[in-house]
Amino acid sequence: MSKYTTTSYLIEGMSCGACAQSAEKILSRQKELSRVSVNYASKKVQITAEQPPDLEQLNAALKKAGFQLLPSAPDQRAVARERAKKKQKQSFRQLLLASLFALPLFVVSMLMPPFAGDNYLMLFWASMILFGPGRQFFVKAWQQLKVGQSNMDTLVALGTGTAYVYSLVATFLPNWWSSQGLSPHVYFETAGLLQTFILLGRYLEGRAKAKASKALDALLDLQPPTVQIWQHEIWTEMPLAAAQAGDRLLIRPGEQIPLDATILEGESEVDEQLLTGESLPQHKLVGAPIWAGTLNQTGRLVVEAKKGADQSRLAQIIELVETAQSSKAPIQKLVDKISGIFVPVILVLALLTALIWFFFGPAPIWSHALNNMVAVLVIACPCALGLATPMAIMLGIGRGAKLGLLLKGAESLEAAQAIDAFVFDKTGSLTEGQMKLQAEEWRQSMAHYWPALYALEENSEHPLAKALLNLSERPSHLPKVDRFQARSGRGVLGQIAGQTYAVGNRQLLVEQGLDPKDLAHGPWQAWEAEGQSVLFFAVERQLIAAFAFSDVLRDGAKETVAALQARGIKTYMLSGDQKVVVDRLANELGIAHAQAELLPEDKINFIKELQAQGLRVAMLGDGLNDAPALAQADLGVSLNAGTGVALEAAEALLLKNEPWQLIQLLDLGQASMKILRQNLFWAFAYNLLGIPIAAGLLYPFTGYLLDPMLAGAAMAFSSVSVVLNSLRLLSWPISKMSA
């Protein structure tokens, strides 16, 4: 039985969804490949074969169509990123150059009355666009033609090229047209302005796609480039890739943990927030597991690597994010697929029009045939089609920005319109993500002991210590703290005026000689039962006070959940926190389905289960542990206060960090997609109605033939209707938070 392997590659040279189809067809012709999948959104190709394919051979087959494969390795990703940046800069320069030429072309053709020599001026500016920044459309259309394919570039090249050539003939042979009883019109502005619009759409699309790739880059940045390995009785700094399972590694305070490992020597506080989403650092002792991507805070650790860099939990998260992102299908693909059919249909119709008029039409036979063929091609020019999606998306994203919603592209709006289920991360999403004092119990005078407590906790870096300092104002005079000690995972100690003060958990106070019976009764039993973190304050074996801390709900969280449920959207809460805390908050929010103590892979599996049920799922998260699930969800949403990885993996960001913005996001998605569908309808309606008229359908009944000038006007009006319809988004009603 043969063993098949799947290899991923980056692909360059694609400009639309039809390009992905073309590349996939070319690669599928290679007999040694079992399966080929090209994803336009992620610019990746997945190839399944018995043996790793010959990259040079594949590129030789793709070269004719203008594509190139690159290995999907970290170093190659960096190369691809640099190429993408250069390409985006080049795209901007081409757009700027085309705009500079398009401005005088627009003024002469649209705003000024006809004058002697105006055709030659328009010819000059249109030529500068078509043979300058617009040359790429003709080059790519020719590359596609050589391999028997067509795409949006074919349509643009066909429409603008026909308009340009027709206008050249009309400009330089006006007497011939007059002798045939025809009054030719030039379409230089149609050719030049159309290409400028398309270049604008391509530039904006490129910017959106560049942001999507940053999620993987941010994840890769969590892996340190080098690691300290014990070799030949000394610590040796080596590349991360050199570390293998079983190696002994040194991790100093403040360093990122490079691999999944087990602690052999030392103890430390490890910040796992990027992995679990929880704000409190975890105390790690000998024998405890630690994971790549987390941060060693306080202690020197000697660890044994359990897995290589490509097998760590962080590497698995990277793979999950990459796979989930690659499965997305942006709405622009719909337009590309339609265009792939539209191009050959228009070519056939234009040719049929010319043949029918040539063989069956009245005199002047071939003049009528050419005139009507050009009218068909001009009226079918895809200006409105090219504007339909970008205009709705640009204005929808712009409206979202004013509302504090940062949307990364069409996928966000497409997904937001039809969500069936909403999954929430707990910490930092529905809650503030910071520990706050919830309750206190003083057994002795606060006024007397507050300065000492403040002086002691001011020396601590623990999040609970910082929260405790907000209890009251900083005393004007603080006592001196001697022999300060931070007991990892337990609390802090110090001497003030010869007396020992302690702030920490039960274990610390018992170690200092406090009678456990003094801790047996008090409100802290109820606090702990609710999942709150409790700190005790003691002086010389005497309990002075106790404090309870917990995360709190964000403003508007309850109202947001209720509004989603009122729309028939199912709500769920997932968290890596302990069950008692998750259940308490779920009950407070009115969420019936909540799960606790989950790992990143558990969250993404939960999303997949919902999707397997046919539900369209949105998720709100803010940590690295949420990144795979955010990418897997049909709509990933992050707060602006989230981690960098979550910000990049999500497709929408709530800049105001207000949960109610989720309702506004759904409203905006529905409005934008409604406008977009209307745009596509109008874009095609003009073609469906105009093409038969341009072909001469009315001539047998009315004697009317559509002048190419009117065909151009109809094509232009379709673009105007698309723009005006899209502008309605600026005043579309959006839900507001009730007082």
Q: Residue 374 burial by CB count (10 A; 0-12/13-18/19+): exposed, middle or buried?
A: buried
Provide the terminal-to-terminal Cα distance of the chain, rounded to the nearest Å: 67
- Contact criterion met (CB below 8 Å) for 246 and 231: no
Phi, psi dihedral angles at 305 (to 5 degrees): -65, 135
Q: What are 61's two structure tokens?
A: 């087959």
- Contact criterion met (CB below 8 Å) for 661 and 556: no
H-type alpha helices, 380-471: 383-403, 410-416, 446-457, 463-468
Helix axes 17-28, 332-360, angle to 10 degrees: 90
Alpha-carbon distance 552 to 433, whole Å?
A: 8
Beta pairing class for 570-574 and 421-425: parallel
Beta pairing class for 234-239 and 295-296: unpaired
- Residue 150: CB partners within 8 Å, gap ≥ 6? 18, 141, 144, 340, 343, 344
- The amino acid sitting at 296 is N
Q: Residue 246 to residues 68, 255, 300: CA-CA distances in angstroms?
A: 39, 20, 19
Q: Which one is catalytic: 153, 271, 336, 425?
A: 425
User: Position of tokens 């407590």?
Assistant: 453
Query: Is 425 marked active-site?
Result: yes
- Contact criterion met (CB below 8 Å) for 619 and 650: no
User: Position of tokens 């596509």?
Assistant: 680
Say how many residues make up the chain. 739
- Contact criterion met (CB below 8 Å) for 190 and 716: yes
Beta pairing class for 248-251 and 226-231: antiparallel
Catalytic residues: 425
